A and B are shown apart, each in its own frame.
Chain A
Amino acid sequence: MRATTSTIAQASRRATASRSAGRLSLPAQSASVGPSRCLHIGTSRSSTASSSLLAQQSSCTKSLAQPRFAIGIRGHATSSSTPIEEVEPIPAISEENTYDVVIIGGANAGLAFACALLSQPTIAKTTRILLLEGASLDRTRSWSGKGDWENRVSSLTAENVAWLDSIGVWKHIEQDRSCPVDEMVIWANPSESSTPTIHFPPLGRPMARMTENLNLQRALLRRIEEVGKGVVTIKENSKVAEMRLGEGGRWVGLRIGDAWLRGSLVVGADGPNSPVRHFSKIESYGHAYQTHAVVCTLNHFASSLYPNTTAFQRFLPTGPLAFLPLSGEASTMVWSTSPENAAALKRLAPEALVGMVNAGFTLPESTLMALVEKMLEADRQGVPLTSDQISSLIATLPSPPLSTDQPILPPNVTSIPAKSIASFPLRLTHADVYLGPRTALVGDAAHTIHPLAGQGLNMGLADVKSLSEVLERARALGGDLGSQTSLADYPRERYPLNHLMLSTTDKLHYIFRARGGLVNWIRGTGLDVINELGPIKKILMGGAGAGTLGVGGGKRTDEQREFGRANATDELPPIGGWPMTAAKGVEGWFALKGVMGMVGSVVKEGAKMGVGKAASLIAKK
């Protein structure tokens, strides 16, 4: 193997050199199109060659064929800005360092992709997978599942929870640290008199689960350790220094330090600034929202009335403010707001931030905006507001009377752990394509999204699920995993859906920020109408992650297949919908027809008898 690789490398270098020389010294040949050039030679030879020249000729064809591929690859890999002559050849790579799939990035998407691949029978039986992570995974591995809450929390839709369960990951999740979201309240308060609200009531099963990223990552790691022995290799603290397409474009070489390894397919799960995307020369488009998100953990008292399983989101002119439950006494906050506001909020003392967050959820919009102005003013002077100042400001600022249609509000926040406060800028990006030369992008490497719908991680999980299924199909049919033919279905499945989600979220962001008489009225009426229409709400919830309820249903269990329900003693599910209505209508019509017929015949008989009797009476007379 070592020998082959090196000879091919040499052949290609020769070919490259001869090509660059050939442009000058062989005008007749370079006049014809590149690819067909070597072929004309090949053909004329094969038509004249006798069979005794066979061996010679095949080696000749081989070396002649080489530039053709090199040209093709150069087309892809123009990314390597240095001229090919100056690049040192990739040394021979041993069988041990040769993998079928190399995943770059050991965060949610990368780890989930490894688990997804392990759940596919052919992939798990026939491939070698490598997961490269630039940092150490020790913090994830040793996360205790107790103590302080992490500030990076994600909402996992019911659909993705079901999928994680089916691939054997969910059982490793620390269940106490994953909070179901049963209800959702979304509101805005654009003017003093109106508070348009949507309240998604409980469905009987959680719409989503709030789970710390570390909790999910630890579960994914445990699953890999459980079933991935001999299939998935994890290399931590390995930063990829260089990526280059191998000779013939049949593999991608990766340099880590001084060592090279290679893979047939490289999957970029390496986040928004994806090096794999840069290597693949894939542009991405999008825009920065002039918005930063401030996140922190909120401590509050447990309500005696209801469990803390309701998510709240208030739309402010600067962006949404979300309250997401973590447990009875803790929740997490995402406050998307202007960069100055975010910086000022971060500079507040934790006690003062408590005051601002409570004000953020409860004050009328005009009062809140005035309070934020005061906060910015104090921040500019270098003396951030204290919690006492905030409470006195709230008492003194002019406050309109609260409108009568106030929504349910989240519990009063009592404290915020200082080290949980963080902020990050928000961007919308979408890669132009998901596939490069032997590369594929998943998760944040392919797209980043505004967090207002909580769909970033969910889109990433849907990506890895789809890609793993595509690769399984390709592998079971002997496909080359990195080839365009094998991968073509992945963008076909995911690109339109991701784009729809990205653009919807983007529009929602702008619609909910806008303030103005007409916009307020349209939005308010729209929200009220949606709130009143059950079916639309159900579809929205289905689309927003309730999964199993929306349109269509989940897979039935064996028991359900047996009895038509979960247990034989359960009541039969009610049958409804238009087919039932139609059936009832037809049934009713037949019943009516029958009754009318009976009544009619009785009347007819009676009439007949009456007439007959009358006739006989007359006849008697």
Chain B
Amino acid sequence: MHRPSLPSALRTARPALRSLGIRSSHPSTFFRSLSTTTPTSSSTPSSSTSSTFTTINESEISHFSRLSSQWWDENGEFGLLHRMNPTRIEYIRQKVAFAPSLSDGETKEPEWTFATRHSDSARESSRGTGAWLTGLRCLDVGCGGGLLSESLARLGGTVVGVDASESNIGIATTHASQDPFLSQKMEEGGLQFRHSAAERLRDAGEKFDVVCAMEVLEHVDEPGEFLKCLGEMVKPGGHLIISTISRTPLSQLLTLTLAEDVLRLVTPGTHTYRKFVKPSELRRYIYSSMGGFDTWYKNEDASDIREDEVGETRGIIYDPLKGAWKLWGGVEGSWWKEAGEGCNYMFHARKRV
């Protein structure tokens, strides 16, 4: 019982898109038009299953290879990313550790009783403590220096980090091998760094419980193909978690004008405005081109009224006073929540069993 799509006139009334000369905002159209207008795209998509095709953008790779030595400088180029890491993991924790267990199709929550109503919060606060990723196979696409991979490995996950830049993989391997705990985990195979494209892993038939692509979507060619590839690698019952940047005047101001051009917190040229993806585009694309609700669970919050969008997005903003990132709050569907997703945001969807 899918709602008929909105009048196209309503959909196209998107100033940011129009300013880019993109007529239709239908997600698949956006993803396609993006790929054709990308001047740097060197490879042509022959087929999504072809092993030669990757969504890797060579100029992006050389850009990050140039910066790779700075991955672990906590006060340098990637300082903001270091501070963002705990907040991203907090989002993963809320989505993965708090998710109802699906082992026999039913949730394992203890029954609510009047007498134990006060212990709910105690039980909830004990969820997501300890090594809460134990037993889960995690993939970190675009791992860079391994910031996220190392944290996931420390939380007990069996982690594979892939990156298209060879020097990044070198840095990540060296850095992890110097950590007493992680070096042991690497020897046991619980943490691997591979110089590979996500597509090659998909073609090899690898599946994961948690697939993460943090700040990668805005750097690849053919984001649509890339998303499909990620989606295929998620095990049934597994999670797809993405973080990226929206395409709004706010993100233009914060990530490009301020962070790159004025404050030089990030090397200019790291981001391209045109390649940013809006939360609604991402959700609709996964609905329209990646199997919709037949493949992905519907949300269990107020956003379940969206008949043609899959997954949840959540803004993540930097608080310069605290020097930390925080997850944006707000009620699903409200302008407040949407305002928080105006720049960096997280996306989560869970695959059906």
Residues on A facing B (Cβ under 8 Å): 1, 4-5, 8, 35-36, 38-39, 42-43, 46-47, 49, 54, 57-58, 60-62, 64-66, 68-69, 72, 93, 95, 98, 100, 121-122, 125-126, 246-251, 262, 264, 473-480, 483-486, 488-489, 492, 558, 561
Residues of B within 8 A of A57 (CB): 166, 170
Report the nearest A residue to B133, measured CB to CB.
A478
Report the nearest A residue to B179, measured CB to CB.
A250
A61 in contact with B171 given A42-B68, A69-B178, A558-B118 (CB within 8 Å) = yes
A62 in contact with B170 given A1-B184, A484-B74 (CB within 8 Å) = yes
| Distance of B203 from chain A, by nearest CB (Å) | 15
B86–A474 contact, CB under 8 A?
A: yes
A121 in contact with B130 given A58-B170, A264-B180 (CB within 8 Å) = yes
Residues of B within 8 A of A1 (CB): 180, 183-184, 187
**Interface hit among B25-33, B41-49, B151-159:** B151-159
| Distance of B179 from chain A, by nearest CB (Å) | 5
| Distance of B2 from chain A, by nearest CB (Å) | 38
9 new A-B pairs (CB below 8 Å) besides A4-B183, A43-B62? A42-B69, A47-B62, A49-B166, A61-B171, A65-B69, A95-B184, A122-B129, A479-B154, A483-B74
Q: How far is the CA of A459 from the CA of B154 in the complex (A)?
A: 32
Q: How far is the CA of A247 from the CA of B85 in the complex (A)?
A: 24
Q: Which residues in chain B, 169-183, are within 8 Å of chain A measured between CB atoms?
A: 169-171, 173-175, 177-181, 183
Residues of A within 8 A of B129 (CB): 121-122, 125, 476
B151–A477 contact, CB under 8 A?
A: yes
A250's partner among B170, B178, B322 (CB-CB below 8 A) is B178
Q: Which 4 residue pairs spanning A and B have beta carbons closest together? A: A61-B170, A478-B151, A248-B178, A125-B130
Residues of B within 8 A of A479 (CB): 85-86, 151, 154
A477–B184 contact, CB under 8 A?
A: no
Most B-side CB within 10 Å, residue of A60, A247, A478, A484: A478
Report the nearest A residue to B72, measured CB to CB.
A69
Report the nearest A residue to B132, measured CB to CB.
A476
B178–A476 contact, CB under 8 A?
A: no
A262–B180 contact, CB under 8 A?
A: yes
Q: How far is the CA of A8 from the CA of B187 in the complex (A)?
A: 14
B167–A46 contact, CB under 8 A?
A: yes
Q: How far is the CA of A480 from the CA of B183 in the complex (A)?
A: 13
| Distance of B129 from chain A, by nearest CB (Å) | 4
B74's partner among A47, A61, A251, A485 (CB-CB below 8 A) is A485
Q: Which residues in chain B, 56-87, are within 8 Å of chain A measured between CB atoms?
A: 62, 65-66, 68-70, 72-75, 82-83, 85-86
Report the nearest B residue to A562, measured CB to CB.
B118
B323's partner among A38, A47, A488 (CB-CB below 8 A) is A488
| Distance of A433 from chain B, by nearest CB (Å) | 14
| Distance of B286 from chain A, by nearest CB (Å) | 26
Report the nearest A residue to B171, measured CB to CB.
A65
A478's partner among B83, B154, B169 (CB-CB below 8 A) is B154
Most A-side CB within 10 Å, residue of B72, B128, B132: B72
Interface residues on B, range: 35 or more
Total A-B residue contacts, Cβ distance less than 8 Å = 148
Residues of A within 8 A of B118 (CB): 558, 561
| Distance of B150 from chain A, by nearest CB (Å) | 7
The answer to the question of B131 belonging to the interface, with a C-beta cut-off of 8 Å to chain A, is yes
Q: How far is the CA of A1 from the CA of B179 in the complex (A)?
A: 11
| Distance of B323 from chain A, by nearest CB (Å) | 7
A54's partner among B132, B175, B178, B195 (CB-CB below 8 A) is B195
Q: How far is the CA of A247 from the CA of B183 in the complex (A)?
A: 13
Most A-side CB within 10 Å, residue of B72, B126, B178, B184: B178
Sampled A-B contacts (29; CB under 8 Å) = A1-B180, A4-B177, A4-B187, A35-B70, A39-B66, A39-B69, A43-B65, A46-B65, A46-B167, A49-B166, A58-B195, A68-B69, A98-B181, A121-B129, A121-B130, A125-B129, A125-B131, A247-B178, A249-B178, A475-B154, A477-B89, A478-B133, A478-B155, A479-B151, A480-B179, A483-B74, A484-B75, A485-B82, A488-B324
Q: How far is the CA of A60 from the CA of B85 in the complex (A)?
A: 28
Report the nearest B residue to A54, measured CB to CB.
B195
A480's partner among B66, B89, B150, B322 (CB-CB below 8 A) is B150
The answer to the question of B90 belonging to the interface, with a C-beta cut-off of 8 Å to chain A, is yes
| Distance of A206 from chain B, by nearest CB (Å) | 28
Residues of B within 8 A of A43 (CB): 62, 65-66, 167
Residues of A within 8 A of B75 (CB): 484
Residues of A within 8 A of B175 (CB): 69, 248, 250
B86–A42 contact, CB under 8 A?
A: no
A476 in contact with B62 given A58-B166, A62-B170 (CB within 8 Å) = no
| Distance of B227 from chain A, by nearest CB (Å) | 25
Q: How far is the CA of A42 from the CA of B167 in the complex (A)?
A: 6
The answer to the question of B271 belonging to the interface, with a C-beta cut-off of 8 Å to chain A, is no
| Distance of A161 from chain B, by nearest CB (Å) | 23
Q: Which residues in chain B, 154-211, are within 8 Å of chain A measured between CB atoms?
A: 154-155, 165-167, 169-171, 173-175, 177-181, 183-184, 187, 195
| Distance of A414 from chain B, by nearest CB (Å) | 52
Q: How far is the CA of A126 from the CA of B152 in the complex (A)?
A: 14
Residues of B within 8 A of A100 (CB): 181
Q: How far is the CA of A483 from the CA of B182 in the complex (A)?
A: 14
Q: How far is the CA of A476 from the CA of B82 in the complex (A)?
A: 16
A126–B180 contact, CB under 8 A?
A: no
Q: How far is the CA of A484 from the CA of B85 in the complex (A)?
A: 13
| Distance of A474 from chain B, by nearest CB (Å) | 7
A65–B170 contact, CB under 8 A?
A: yes
The answer to the question of B93 belonging to the interface, with a C-beta cut-off of 8 Å to chain A, is yes
B66–A478 contact, CB under 8 A?
A: no
A477–B90 contact, CB under 8 A?
A: yes
Residues of B within 8 A of A486 (CB): 86
Residues of B within 8 A of A126 (CB): 130-131
A61–B166 contact, CB under 8 A?
A: yes
A66–B174 contact, CB under 8 A?
A: yes
Residues of A within 8 A of B173 (CB): 58, 62
Residues of A within 8 A of B187 (CB): 1, 4
For B225-261 the 0/1 string (1 means CB < 8 A from A) is: 0000000000000000000000000000000000000
Residues of B within 8 A of A477 (CB): 85-86, 89-90, 93, 151, 155
Report the nearest A residue to B66, measured CB to CB.
A43
Report the nearest A residue to B148, measured CB to CB.
A478
Residues of A within 8 A of B152 (CB): 478
Residues of A within 8 A of B128 (CB): 476
Residues of B within 8 A of A250 (CB): 175, 178-180
Q: How far is the CA of A3 from the CA of B171 in the complex (A)?
A: 20
B131–A246 contact, CB under 8 A?
A: no
Residues of B within 8 A of A5 (CB): 183
Report the nearest B residue to A561, measured CB to CB.
B118
B93's partner among A93, A95, A474, A476 (CB-CB below 8 A) is A476
Q: How far is the CA of A69 from the CA of B179 in the complex (A)?
A: 13
Report the nearest A residue to B193, measured CB to CB.
A58
Report the nearest A residue to B62, measured CB to CB.
A47
Report the nearest A residue to B58, measured CB to CB.
A47
Residues of B within 8 A of A484 (CB): 74-75
Q: How far is the CA of A57 from the CA of B169 in the complex (A)?
A: 11
| Distance of B176 from chain A, by nearest CB (Å) | 9
Q: How far is the CA of A47 from the CA of B64 in the complex (A)?
A: 12
A485 in contact with B69 given A47-B62, A58-B166, A58-B170 (CB within 8 Å) = no
| Distance of B66 from chain A, by nearest CB (Å) | 6
B130–A38 contact, CB under 8 A?
A: no
Q: How far is the CA of A4 from the CA of B155 in the complex (A)?
A: 22
Q: How far is the CA of A422 from the CA of B151 in the complex (A)?
A: 51
Q: How far is the CA of A190 from the CA of B92 in the complex (A)?
A: 64
A65 in contact with B180 given A477-B93, A478-B151 (CB within 8 Å) = no
B166–A65 contact, CB under 8 A?
A: no
Residues of B within 8 A of A122 (CB): 129-130
Q: How far is the CA of A38 from the CA of B167 in the complex (A)?
A: 11
Q: How far is the CA of A473 from the CA of B73 in the complex (A)?
A: 21
Report the nearest B residue to A34, measured CB to CB.
B69
Residues of B within 8 A of A476 (CB): 93, 128-130, 132
